[in-house]
Amino acid sequence: MPDVFFPGGVMTVAGDYKPGDQPPTGYLDWHEWAEVQHKAGLRQKECGRCGKWKYPQELSDQTDRHEMQSRKGPVTVATPVCNKCVSPNV
């Protein structure tokens, strides 16, 4: 995102984001990008490994499956894995 410098300050110009775009790196850029994603109906899911909340385009096709115990018996829980946590050899 470019910055416009003028006497007495700096104005940050927002990027043109579309639903499904990969996230930008800057803090203010990310919030503007996330607003576009949310308005488009995309919702975040929690990564099963790092615990961070990611939009669908930040998640890999890989899922982790764990068997857990409930009062009614064993339950299989599937959690998505983000692109940063994905194992390259799986």
Q: Are 67 and 74 in contact (CB under 8 A)?
A: yes
Q: Report how far residue 29's alpha carbon sits from residue 78's, in angstroms, rounded to the nearest whole number.
A: 31
Residue partners of 65: CB distance under 8 A and separation at least 6? 76, 77, 78
Domain boundaries, the chain: 1-42, 47-90
Among 2, 20, 23, CA closest to 11 = 2
Q: Report how far residue 33's alpha carbon sits from residue 29's, in angstroms, rounded to the nearest whole number.
A: 6
Residue 14 has pLDDT above 90, yes or no: no
Higher pLDDT, 24 or 12: 24
Helix or strand (DSSP H, E) at 69: strand 59-70
pLDDT tens digits, residue range 28-81?
889 999 999 999 999 999 999 999 999 999 999 999 999 999 999 999 999 999
- DSSP string for 16-68: ---TTPPP-SSHHHHHHHHHHHHHTT---EE-TTT--EE-GGGEEEEEEEEEE
